[in-house]
Amino acid sequence: MKVLDSKVGQGFAKVCADGFRQGWHERNGGNLSCRLTAEEAEALKENFETTAPWREIGTEVPELAGEYFMVTGSGKFMRNVELDFADSVGVIRVDETGTKYQIVWGLTNGGKPTSELPTHLMNLEVIRRRDPELRIVYHAHPANTVALTFVLPLDDEIFTREIWEMETECPVVFPQGIGVVEWMVPGGREIGVRTSEIMKTRNVAVWAHHGMFVCGHDFDETFGLMHTVEKSAEILVKVMSMTDRKRNTIRPDEFRALQGPFGIELDERYLYEKSSDKIGER
Ligand code: 2HA
Ligand code: ZN
């Protein structure tokens, strides 16, 4: 089967196109990765070549040794994924030491995997440890979420709580909350270590003044998570454009009341009693 005709290829391209249409991928901003299942890799193997050089990942992911990943290319525009899939996207294989990769398909014009490959692979490694079917990692630059990193404290508990309060759906969609990474140089191991610490327990990491990383089991869920966080961030930006205080909101006991009906468990650290109605204060 051709890579683009496969379900995984189609789902991958759809996220890139939909994210572009949301305005989350200016120029070459954002990237996407997916660990292929053994069945997917087997079905696509006839397209793979094993002659490309092995290159350093820039970090080590021993638990991903021998696995195949579909990834967007460094410097590639999300806008072009649906137009020229084989130029914009590649399939790579991680070597037996978990320190090198080889391009086995795509990135046809001398391309390389995303500059955020260390963060993607480190995230893919830790999320698989907590759930073997978590296998997609998505990075985008959604404007409202980024805007909030200039005005909210860069504190996991406050950031999560303020986003949760904007839409009842939020604690149901990401009950483990959001982790916030202070500004760091992107593209390397260090920011990958910091982000994967968050992804050990949570599905959303916000990079201050940069963007967001989310993970999921399938493409719809992963895209939907990014969309839900960003939608709530948009509501918060609208509220903060009117006032710095809330007259009404969802209260801690009301959040707790969601747990039974929705079968979720909320981390109590986000449900602190507030001493102020000022947005962003505890
Ligand atoms: O250019 O988004 O973080 C791709 C990126 C880097
Ligand atoms: Zn980015």
Task: Give the ligand with the smallest distance to the CA of 115.
Answer: 1
pLDDT score of 65: 98
Q: How much distance in Å is there from the Cα of 140 to the middle of ligand 2? A: 6
Q: Which domains does the chain have, with CATH numbers?
A: 1-114 (3.40.225.10), 116-282 (3.40.225.10)
Which is the catalytic residue, given 40, 60, 67, 116? 116
pLDDT score of 278: 98
Is the minimum distance from the CB of 73 to ligand 1 under 6 angstroms? no
Query: What is the residue with the minimal CA distance to atom 4 of ligand 1?
Result: 29
pLDDT score of 76: 98
pLDDT score of 43: 98
d(CA 208, CA 170): 20
pLDDT score of 277: 95
Ligand 1: atom nearest CA of 207 is: 3
Q: What pTM, to 2 d.p., does this model score?
A: 0.98
User: CA-CA distances (angstroms) from residue 280 to 177, 180, 250, 258?
Assistant: 16, 14, 15, 23
End-to-end CA distance of the chain: 54
Q: Is 63 helix (H, G, I), strand (E, B) or coil?
A: helix
pLDDT score of 2: 96
Question: Which letter does DSSP use for residue 53 in this model?
Answer: P
d(CA 94, CA 82): 25
pLDDT score of 71: 99
CB 205 within 8 A of CB 195: yes
Which ranges of the chain have pLDDT less than 70? none
CB 72 within 8 A of CB 88: yes
pLDDT digit string, tens, across residues 91-112:
999 999 999 999 999 999 999 9
Is the minimum distance from the CB of 140 to ligand 1 under 6 angstroms? no
Let me know if 46 is a catalytic residue.
Answer: no
Q: How much distance in Å is there from the Cα of 129 to the middle of ligand 2? A: 25
pLDDT score of 74: 98
Look up residue 188 and give its amino acid. G
Ligand 1: atom nearest CA of 139 is: 2
Q: How much distance in Å is there from the Cα of 154 to the middle of ligand 1? A: 21
Q: How much distance in Å is there from the Cα of 30 to the middle of ligand 1? A: 5
